[in-house]
Amino acid sequence: MENKFKRKSYNQAKAPQTFSDSFNYTLTANKLERYLHKPSDNFTSDDIIEYVFEKDIEMINFRYISADEKLKTINFVVTGRTELENLLKYGERVNGSSVFPYNKERHPDLYITPIFSTAFVNPFAIIPTLDIICSFFTWEGEKLSSSPENILQNAVDYFQEKSGYEIKMFSELEYYTMSQPEEGFSSDEGNYQSSEPFSKFEQLRAAAIKAIAQCGGKVRYGHAEHGAFQLNGKHYEQHEIEFLPCPPAESIRQVILSKWIIRMLGHKHGVNISFSPKVAIDKPGNGLHTHFILEKDGINILGEGSEFRKSSLKMISGILNHAGALSAFGNSIPVSYLRLAHNQLSPHHICWGPSNRSALIRIPKINMKAQNQRLSQSAMFSYDPLYIYNQTMEYRGTDASAYMHFFVAAMLIAGIDGMNNPNYLQEIKQKLASTNLYHEDDDKIKEKFKKLPESCGEAAEHLIKERKLFTETHPIFPDRVIDYIIDKLTQFEEKWDVKKIIHGNDEEQIDEFIKHFMHYR
């Protein structure tokens, strides 16, 4: 009998030349790709219709991402071929003022039309169901320029035009499971990459990774994270799922879809899930660290050997210069600033550094020469400088409350601003953190760096000061979108005084504050 688990020789399984591996439908977890024998990027309406009738699909779910970055749903029953063809061709009307509050008067009626490449079989539906994520159009048939997806795409196109580089990205999605404590297992913060039975919900994480892949997500790996403790009669356990590099819109879609999948699995198994930036004071928070890659002709050009290129340093300098305004998009709720507070083991200062986890932008060290030496020691491997796990720059400030479409769009604008800055070299040297600031006792070293905003109000102030960068200097954001972000932050500031809550040391008030945002987004 043939051993289906037999490993291919490395002459057969050559490392991919770019981040897009050659498509093999026998290996994909996506049921549509496996049935149609083609990658999802090539799906057509005819493909969707064929799958629906061949696989006895009874319902279609149109999914879309609204202004609050949550996944919304409209259900359709499959009644016949003509009706299905019309649905896939023309889409469906939605209340635009409810989906995008900042468009109340401009676009009261919008149409959502399916993005065929996003189709997947719903892994949780009792009735056989196919889900498709949708894009937004006006009633005149034009793309809705103010939708998050189109603002992002405009920024991506603008960045490529101005810099000559393509951008790819991936995120590290962190979350907590909250369950009843179990006798016999101690809980402490030595949970990093622990295994069952010490990591109680490894199988839930594995089921999530499988479901994400079946729904079209590109997952690199998952593991237990540092957070593990008991509080108020509950067991808290932290996990992380990291994705593979892909274009920004696809990367963000799969994070939002993954949050839905993880929550659904938690509900199925009677476990609460939280992506909140902070679930308990003085315990590890949930980040949404985001890695970025610059490419030219499909090749990663961030670094050269062990050195970073000038273009990369320029981009970093621009992002750091506008980090305060970026927090308005990347840290959208009051509890975000509890995670970013002093002594909470999350970025607090605006700086960068190689392998420095206390920095806002970390450069994971990859020494290609050393990697080549390691690989050359084994006859099984051959060195390939274009291999998928290459150099990235990691922005560590964002969390799962982020308006990710807006954040990435704003970050690309900041990057372009840095590339146009003739003083970048001096500034990038000044913002280099050569020591871990979490463990630095010398206050003079910390005082060299500016601090991130410490509340929604401070983030709003930064965005107010710099709004013209995003609306005029680089005209990507409509003014009404910036107003919407500022208004939301200001409303939070009026209700929740984060600094007062933190410095008040009132445990009951802090607990109430954290609980309020435990399942916010």
pLDDT confidence band for 486 (50 / 70 / 90)? very high
Mean pLDDT, residues 368-397 taken together: 60
- pLDDT tens digit sequence for 99-115: 999 987 777 899 999 99
- pLDDT tens digit sequence for 302-355: 877 656 788 899 999 999 999 999 999 999 999 999 999 877 778 999 999 988
Q: Is 9 within the bounds of a domain?
A: no
**Rounded-to-integer distance, Cα 47 and Cα 429, Å:** 53
Closest-CA residue to 320 (of 171, 162, 478, 433):
433
Quick one: CA torsion of 120, 86, 35, 213, rounded to 10 degrees? Answer: -10
Residues 171 and 200 in one domain: yes
Residues 118 and 260 in one domain: no
Closest-CA residue to 207 (of 133, 160, 267, 158):
267
Handedness of CA 91, 94, 99, 101 (dihedral sign): positive
Residues 209 and 112 in one domain: no
- Of 126, 144, 162, the position where a domain reaches its end is 144
Residues 127 and 174 in one domain: no
The position carrying tokens 């809980």 is 187
CATH of the domain at 241: 3.30.590.10
- Of 144, 169, 195, the position where a domain reaches its end is 144
Mean pLDDT score of the chain = 88
- Of 144, 176, 191, the position where a domain reaches its end is 144
- pLDDT tens digit sequence for 260-302: 999 999 999 999 999 999 999 889 999 999 999 999 888 888 8
Query: Strand 59-65 to strand 129-138: parallel, antiparallel, or no bridges (unpaired)?
Result: parallel
Cβ pair 243, 257 in contact under 8 A = no
**Rounded-to-integer distance, Cα 501 and Cα 492, Å:** 13
Gyration radius (Cα) of the chain, Å: 23
14 pLDDT higher than 50: no
Listed in sequence order, the residues at least 6 apart from 241 whose beta carbon sits closer than 8 Å to its beta carbon are 172, 173, 205, 208, 209, 212, 219, 221, 222, 258, 262
Of 498 and 405, more confident: 405
- Distance in Å from the first CA to the final CA of the chain: 50
Q: Is 6 within the bounds of a domain?
A: no
Cβ pair 305, 372 in contact under 8 A = no
Residues 195 and 215 in one domain: yes
Q: Is 194 within the bounds of a domain?
A: yes
Provide the pLDDT for residue 2: 35
Residue 512, judged by CB atoms within 10 A of its CB (0-12, 13-18, 19+), counts as: exposed
The DSSP symbol for 375 reads: H
Of 1 and 386, more confident: 386
Residues 139 and 62 in one domain: yes
**Rounded-to-integer distance, Cα 100 and Cα 64, Å:** 12
CATH of the domain at 94: 3.10.20.70
Listed in sequence order, the residues at least 6 apart from 96 whose beta carbon sits closer than 8 Å to its beta carbon are 103, 104, 107, 108, 109, 110
Provide the pLDDT for residue 185: 61
- pLDDT tens digit sequence for 15-57: 333 434 456 777 899 999 999 999 999 999 999 999 999 999 9
Residues 139 and 164 in one domain: no
Q: Is 4 within the bounds of a domain?
A: no
Cβ pair 109, 487 in contact under 8 A = no
Listed in sequence order, the residues at least 6 apart from 190 whose beta carbon sits closer than 8 Å to its beta carbon are 226, 228
Residues 348 and 411 in one domain: yes
- pLDDT tens digit sequence for 194-220: 999 889 999 999 999 999 999 999 999
Residue 75's alpha-carbon distances to 48, 132, 259, 283, in angstroms, are: 16, 11, 20, 40
Residues 319 and 380 in one domain: yes
Listed in sequence order, the residues at least 6 apart from 343 whose beta carbon sits closer than 8 Å to its beta carbon are none
How would you write 180-227 as a 3-class SS string? Answer: CCCCCCCCCCCCCCCCCCCCCCHHHHHHHHHHHHHCCCCEEEEEEEEE
Mean pLDDT, residues 69-83 taken together: 96
**Rounded-to-integer distance, Cα 31 and Cα 341, Å:** 44
Residue 406, judged by CB atoms within 10 A of its CB (0-12, 13-18, 19+), counts as: buried
* Residue 367 DSSP SS3: coil
What domain count does the chain have? 2
Provide the pLDDT for residue 305: 60
Q: Is 24 within the bounds of a domain?
A: no
Q: Is 19 within the bounds of a domain?
A: no
Q: Phi and psi dihedrals of 459, rounded to 5?
A: -65, -40
For residue 364, whether the previous peptide bond is cis, meaning omega lies within 30 degrees of 0, is no
Residues of the domain holding 81: 31-144
**Rounded-to-integer distance, Cα 18 and Cα 7, Å:** 22
Helices 310-321 and 404-419 pack at an angle, to 10 degrees, of 120
Listed in sequence order, the residues at least 6 apart from 513 whose beta carbon sits closer than 8 Å to its beta carbon are 334, 335, 338, 496, 501
Q: Is 391 within the bounds of a domain?
A: yes
Residues 427 and 458 in one domain: yes
Residues 253 and 401 in one domain: yes
369 pLDDT higher than 90: no
How would you write 35-61 as a 3-class SS string? Answer: HHCCCHHHCCHHHHHHHHHHCCCCEEE
Q: Is 214 within the bounds of a domain?
A: yes
Amino acid identity, residue 304? E
Residues 380 and 421 in one domain: yes
**Rounded-to-integer distance, Cα 169 and Cα 402, Å:** 15
